[in-house]
Structure 1
Amino acid sequence: MTTTYAALLRGINVSGRRKVPMAELRELLTGLGHSGVSTLLQSGNAVFTSESDDEASLGAELERAIEERFGFAVDTLVRSAAYLRAVADACPFPAATLEGKQLHVTYFSEPVGPERLAPLDPAAYLPEEFRLGDRALYLYAPDGLGRSKLAGALAGPGLFKGITATSRNWNTVVKLVELTRD
């Protein structure tokens, strides 16, 4: 049985650095034996189907292949279509009434407990807010990510040490759900 996945690559094609052309990423995934390969945007989102049911192994395999092909390491999370749908469905904010730039999801390589976020005083960042989900953090930033003080605090050193994290705006979250529909 095949499963549809999205590969979420962290920090590529930003400011002309760590370039991974999407056509080459599609080639790479196909060469690894995956089918139905497509990409979204230039920021490291790929959709594919695989016989494997092991997200961690698929991510590690793609990380090795990217490093071999491009000469640099890229943290990669692979998530199933069902997981992506569940994260979108569980959004604690009124996504339908917000602009895509106001809502973001940070996907984590493992579960994150509230103790990691204890150093932050949520009231200090209002009206910005965050909520934890299943290996995900939802961030509401009404003025966008570029002006968000809370996003800066969340990205600070130490909060998520040892965990791979990569963020997507709500428009991308929704598009990935659409692209991974079986």
Structure 2
Amino acid sequence: MSQPLHSDAQLDALREVANIGCGHAANALSRLMGGRKVDLSIPRVLLTGPSDAAELLGGAAPVVSGWLGIQGGLRGALLLVLPQQDGAALEALLLEGQPAIHQTERDSVMAETANIVASACLSAMGRLTGWKLVPTVPTVRRGRARDVVSDAVGQVEGDASSVVVLEARFLATAAPPVGGQLLLVLARDSIRDLLARLGV
């Protein structure tokens, strides 16, 4: 079962970092979607394992995800995850209503979206911490939430049985609305380095 971190000061510091990073990511997504408003929830912070992290996204529910590794001062991954229906709506919106004939086209749209969102998030976090944080090449996965997330979390170096997940939900006022989640997954030693950098 997911467990919270123990120190309120640590929780507040991590939420603030996630809030700034995800806020910039939401702004990037808004610009990508032609200026449509993107509402973002206050991020929550959980100490969890791969299987519990997957349940945050609905377990067996079908999703589409673009995820990228993080290089630089932190080790982890950033995931943009959408329910299957919302992913299709986003792809149609970004393709200007033209249906993608090939799966590669749909994957390319999702990969580019994840790359733009992740780059905005990591750039904001980098300015806050003084670290240069760079995303890796995005990977697109479609399937059950638990499989998609477990695969991504499993790529995080370090103790994969215990990672910190900073999770925020977003909703874009498109037609139909497009919603999903942003997950920042960090190895525990990276969280210690981040908290030390923030002085908590």
**TM-score of the superposed pair, with normalisation by structure 1:** 0.28
Q: Which has the higher helix share?
A: 2
| Relative contact order, higher structure (CA 8 A, sep 6+) | 2
**TM-score of the superposed pair, with normalisation by structure 2:** 0.26
